[in-house]
Every structure is written in C-alpha cells, then in structure tokens.
C-alpha cells in the first residue's frame, strides 16, 4: 500500500453562515476507529458544511485515513503543524457554486437592455460559462429562461438582453456555471419601455497597426434613423460621447462601412455600432479587436507593359504600376525595382523612385537588355523598413524557332524523312517541313515530343521549354504573328510582341504535312495532367489557341512541331 505523509496539510472551505461541529483526532492509527477521536465519534463519510476536522495526534503518532473522505463546500479539514497525516485511500474536496451579483439594468428600451454580472468567488472551480438569464416569471433559471452567454472566467461582464417585448416587466439574474453547477446572482426586475430603438450590429475586418474597417447593419426602418456610425475606445462600452466615432445620417444598405483611423499599434480596442432615432440611441453588442504591430508597407504590382509585350528579343523600355498602403508608419518613398535575378531589392539592380504616401504609382524600366529575363517588383519604404510586392516577370523568349541537330550531350538527333518510319517512331527525331531544307532556313526544324523529353537533354544551355504558365502570362495572338508569309487574311497580325511567329506548319503523327504551312504555326509547350500541350497561331484568327492531346495516345508524341525556348 502506498502512503502519502504530510508534515503540514491544511484545507479550508468557506464556512460563513454555517453552524460548526468539530471533530478532533487525538489518537494514533486508523481514522475509522472511534477511540482515536476526542468525542469518540468518527466524522461522517461526507463532512457537511459548517463542520471542522482537526488532525492533532501526539508527537510521533499518526492519523491514517483508511477510507475515502468527502469534504463538502463550507466544511474544512485542519492538519496541525508537525502532525503526521497518512492518506492511503484518498480524499474528495467538492467545490461550491460560484458567488456573484447582478449588475443593475440600464439602457432600457422597448427591445433591449444592458446588465451583467460581478463574480466574487468561483466556488473553488473555474467558471465555465456566464451571462444573464431573464423571464417574465420570477427566479429565472438557465433551463427555463432566455439567456446570454458571455464567455468563461472570473472577470466581471456586461450582457445585452435582446428581443424584448415593449412595455413588459422582466425578472433578471446573473449566472455563472462551474463543475459543481450554476450559481445565480440577486434577482432584479425592470420594465421595457414602449419606445422602440433600432437594433444594431457591427463587425471589424482589415485590421492593421493604426487602421481598421468596420461594417454595421440596422434591422429597423432606415428612414427613422437620424444619425448612425461607430464609436470605439481602449476601454469597454464606448459611447457617442467619445471623440473617437464616425457620424453619418440616414443609412443606405448596407448601412455603413467606415475606416477607423489613428489607432494605436498593438492595442486592444472595443467598438460598438450605434444608431439614433427619435426615441434615443441604440448600441450594438461590443466587438473586441486587436491592432497589429507597425510593419513595412503592403505593396502590389498591378500592370507591366512595354514595347515588346515581353515576348521575343526585348530591348528599350517597359512601364510598371503598383499600389502601396501603409502599415502604421508613413511611406517616405516608393517605386519599382528590377533585376535579372529573382527577388530584386532596392540595393541591387535598377530602381525607379516616386514620392512618399500611399496609393497608386508607376515607374519606367529602362536599358532592358535583349534576351534577358527580368524580375520586377514594386516597393515602398517607411520607418520600419521596405516592403516589396510579389515579382512579375519579363520573360525573354528565343528570337527564332529552334534549329538544332544534337542533344545537349552532343549526341545526334536523327533526321527522319521517310513517312513510314516517322509514323512508327518511339524515339526523338526532326524534319524540315515537306522534307525541304529550304524551309529550315526560314522556319527552323519540326521536332517530335520524344526529342523534347530525351534524357540526354534537348534545349541549349541557358534555355528551357516553355510551360503553359509562360504562354498564359504572355500577350499573344495577332501580336505574335509576322505580317508576311501568312496566307490571307492573316487576321490581327502586327508582330507588336516581336515574337515573329511564322506559319511553319506541322507534321501529323502519320507523317502527313497536310498543306499546313502558310496557314498554321504550332509550338510545343509542356506535359502535365496526362496531356501534351501546344500553342497554335492561325492565318484567320487574332488569338492563339491551345492544342492538347491525351498522353495515353502514343501517336500524339509523333507530331512534328516548332520549338521556341524561354531564357532560364
């Protein structure tokens, strides 16, 4: 048997208002032996409220608790200093109900009122829930009345009673619940008025260091509202007597959206929506929010345009625009920065500079080098530091179609002219359109997909195959087509992107060229989701189209298409 030995042990529960019965252990040995007790009477299994047990054996003697003893609320157990108290069986000390008072009712209207509770003791067990309960009958309880729930813990709290009936007498009690049960405060009564105030609600979002935005609504006749808005403070229950408020007239649905300004960073705020009609001012429930720490500005990059649409061989200039919002500290400077390496910063690469302040701005990117991929970010600086947007890319595309005959390791990519051989290929190959070498000088070569995916490496060093993302983020269609060599009408062709897309045609999986040169140009894209992708330009369309084929169809890989690479 395991024993717990205490040289000093004391447990005390509140005894106010109880008559006292005292049991004193003066013997040596077991608790359940009557002869060890001064009164020859063993305490009951549950020591009732108002009773006391004193443990006071002689020096070197012991008291052994050989049963489970329950100490009820309002009872106490005292182990005198120097006494040996051995507990082999256990002891249960039960908590009492919480003690609290009901806060007087105020802000009474025809449909709501304000009260709350003040908790003086939790009864020895944490308060799990609390609020107020009310009814048209006396002594309302949470099982039979209408109630609020105002969280947990011992802190005092305010509660809004809503959806009351006008001109009606109500009885109200604060309540608090712990593991033992529910305790109630004193009962109060009040009568709702015959006047109806608006019912208002509030929420807060987009919370930053010194600003936030609030949205509210009113569930009553809008036209009866004289003024409405929000009031806030670092103290609870703000009212319209504070200078920190917004004021508007008759609301429009949704009735209000207001910016809260000049807030303190890293602070707790309480906000209430309010609305005033001819009967008075109504407030919403209190909303708690926390402001953020001061941070670098939030920045976004919106547009990126230039004389090359960022396809082909880029030079000259481009223009980028951005937007900056402060995070509590004024912006002193903002602009655009760009570099040929990812994530450019203002200490590297090139930079434009605009004045301070928030809002939109733009900058001109100059001295762009042909065949170079650029990363572009907007930035803004405040006292905390510099914030950057995500990066936008100026992609450098190969200025002409690929025209290689070897893999990256130097092995030869075979030329296949025979139609029967091409139609049964399972390895990489290339050809000229119509097997005419004269076409190669203008249009480059056509490659099957086996060549693109050969493990020996296909693209030249420093270049890669384009992905669907590359195509999707580039302006395309007529801007990509040359103004010559296409069959009429060559719809929308301007070549303003300088991609110089040519109608080089394609070779079908069965090796048929199908007279496609002059009418179509097709370029390989990537493989994903079980499909092979490509992009097509057409003589009779101002847009580009996406071609895709299920990879489970082996013939799809034998299609011969042009290749245009992207700079890594």
Which one, of 156, 11, 172, 21, lies nearest residue 98 by Cα?
156
What is the distance between the alpha carbons of residues 516 and 495, in angstroms, rounded to a whole number?
20
User: Which of 72-86, 476-490, 504-518: highest mean pLDDT?
Assistant: 504-518
Q: What would the DSSP string read from start to end of 398-427?
A: PSS-----B-TTSPBPPB---HHHHTT--S
Q: Report the chain's C-alpha Rg in angstroms.
A: 41
Dig out the tokens for 91 from the structure.
Answer: 């002891």
pLDDT, averaged across the chain? 86
Average pLDDT (231-244) is: 95
Average pLDDT (125-133) is: 93
Dig out the tokens for 73 from the structure.
Answer: 């609320």
Specify whether the CB–CB gap between 310 and 474 falls below 8 A.
yes
Query: Confidence class of residue 412 from pLDDT cuts 50, 70 and 90?
Result: very high
Phi, psi of 302 (to 5 degrees): -100, -55
Q: At residue 265, does pLDDT exceed 70?
A: yes
Strand, helix or coil for residue 451: helix
561 or 3: which leads in pLDDT = 561
Q: Which residues pair with 298 in a beta bridge?
A: 325
Q: How far is CA 286 from CA 34, 219, 274, in A?
A: 60, 17, 11
Q: Which residues pair with 287 in a beta bridge?
A: 271
Average pLDDT (297-322) is: 71
Q: At residue 196, does pLDDT exceed 80?
A: no
How many CA atoms, within 13 angstroms, populate the side-chain half-sphere of residue 166? 8
pLDDT value for 306: 58
Dig out the tokens for 217 from the structure.
Answer: 């609504």
Dig out the tokens for 511 from the structure.
Answer: 């090796």
Which one, of 123, 132, 129, lies nearest residue 184 by Cα?
132
What is the distance between the alpha carbons of residues 429 and 514, in angstroms, rounded to a whole number?
19
Strand, helix or coil for residue 83: coil
Q: At residue 231, does pLDDT exceed 50?
A: yes
Which one, of 536, 508, 533, lies nearest residue 521 by Cα?
536
| H or E stretch at 438 | helix 437-443
Q: What percent of the chain has pLDDT over 70?
A: 91
Dig out the tokens for 78 from the structure.
Answer: 């005292």
Q: What would the DSSP string read from start to end of 107-145?
A: S--SS-EEEEEEEEE-TTS---EEEEEEESSSS--TTTS
In degrees, rounded to 5, the angle at the alpha carbon of residue 67 between the alpha carbons of residues 64 and 69 is: 100
Query: Confidence class of residue 242 from pLDDT cuts 50, 70 and 90?
Result: very high
What is the distance between the alpha carbons of residues 60 and 63, in angstroms, rounded to a whole number?
10
Specify whether the CB–CB gap between 365 and 320 falls below 8 A.
yes
Which one, of 371, 428, 439, 372, lies nearest residue 403 by Cα?
439
Average pLDDT (303-324) is: 67
Query: Confidence class of residue 316 from pLDDT cuts 50, 70 and 90?
Result: low
Cis peptide before 263 (omega within 30 of 0): no
Q: What would the DSSP string read from start to end of 493-512?
A: ---TT---B---B-B-TTS-
What is the distance between the alpha carbons of residues 513 and 431, in angstroms, rounded to a whole number?
11
Residue whose token pair is 């004024």: 330
Q: At residue 470, does pLDDT exceed 60?
A: yes
What is the distance between the alpha carbons of residues 480 and 521, in angstroms, rounded to a whole number?
11
Average pLDDT (208-231) is: 83
Q: At residue 151, does pLDDT exceed 70?
A: yes
């Amino acid at each position: 048997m395991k024993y717990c030995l205490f040289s000093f042990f004391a447990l005390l529960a509140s005894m106010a208002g109880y008559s006292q019965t005292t049991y004193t252990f003066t013997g040596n040995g077991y608790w359940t032996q009557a002869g060890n007790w001064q009164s020859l009477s063993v305490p009951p299994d549950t020591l009732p409220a108002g009773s006391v047990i004193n443990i006071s054996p002689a020096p070197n003697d012991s008291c052994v608790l050989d049963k489970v003893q329950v100490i009820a609320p309002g009872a106490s157990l005292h182990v005198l200093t120097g006494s040996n108290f051995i507990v082999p069986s256990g002891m249960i000390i039960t908590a009492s109900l919480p003690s609290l008072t009901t806060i007087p009712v105020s802000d009474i209207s025809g449909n709501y009122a304000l009260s709350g509770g003040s908790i003086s003791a939790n009864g020895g067990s944490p308060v799990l829930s609390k609020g107020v309960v009310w009814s048209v009958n006396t002594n309302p309880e949470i099982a039979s009345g209408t109630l609020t729930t105002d969280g947990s813990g011992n802190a005092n709290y305010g509660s809004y009673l809503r959806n009351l009936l006008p001109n009606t007498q109500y009885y109200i009690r604060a309540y608090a619940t712990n593991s033992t049960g529910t305790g109630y405060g004193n009962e109060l009564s009040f009568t709702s008025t015959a006047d109806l105030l608006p019912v208002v609600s509030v929420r807060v979002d987009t919370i930053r260091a010194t600003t936030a935005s609030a949205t509210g609504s009113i569930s009553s006749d809008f036209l009866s509202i004289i003024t409405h808005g929000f009031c806030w403070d670092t103290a609870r229950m703000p009212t319209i007597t504070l200078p920190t408020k917004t004021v508007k007239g008759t609301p429009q649905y949704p009735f209000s959206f207001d910016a809260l300004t000049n807030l303190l960073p890293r602070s707790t705020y309480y906000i209430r929506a309010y609305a005033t009609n001819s009967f008075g001012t109504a407030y919403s429930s209190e909303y708690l929010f926390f402001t953020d720490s001061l941070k670098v500005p939030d920045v976004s990059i919106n547009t990126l345009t230039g004389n090359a649409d960022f396809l082909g061989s880029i030079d000259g200039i481009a223009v980028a625009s951005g937007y900056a919002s402060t995070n509590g500290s004024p912006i002193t400077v903002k602009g655009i920065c760009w570099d040929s390496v990812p994530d450019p910063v203002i200490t590297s690469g090139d930079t434009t500079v605009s004045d301070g302040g928030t809002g939109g701005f733009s900058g001109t990117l100059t001295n762009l080098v042909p065949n170079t991929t650029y990363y572009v970010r907007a930035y803004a600086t405040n006292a905390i530091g510099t914030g950057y947007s995500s990066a936008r890319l100026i992609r450098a595309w190969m200025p002409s179609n690929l025209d290689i005959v070897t893999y990256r390791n130097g092995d030869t990519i075979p030329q296949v002219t025979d139609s029967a051989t091409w139609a049964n290929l399972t390895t990489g190959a290339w050809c000229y359109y119509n097997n005419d070498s004269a076409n190669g000088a203008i249009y480059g070569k056509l490659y099957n997909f086996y060549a693109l995916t050969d493990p020996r490496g296909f693209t030249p060093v420093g270049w890669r195959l384009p992905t669907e993302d590359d195509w999707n983020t580039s302006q395309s269609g007529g801007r990509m087509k040359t103004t010559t060599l296409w069959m009429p009408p060559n719809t929308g062709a301007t070549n303003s992107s300088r991609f110089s897309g040519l109608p080089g045609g394609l070779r079908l999986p069965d090796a048929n060229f199908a007279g496609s040169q002059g009418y179509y140009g097709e370029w390989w894209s990537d493989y994903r989701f079980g499909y092979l992708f490509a992009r097509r330009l057409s003589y009779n369309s101002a847009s580009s189209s996406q071609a895709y084929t299920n990879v489970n169809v082996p013939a799809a890989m034998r299609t011969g298409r042009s290749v245009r690479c992207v700079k890594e």
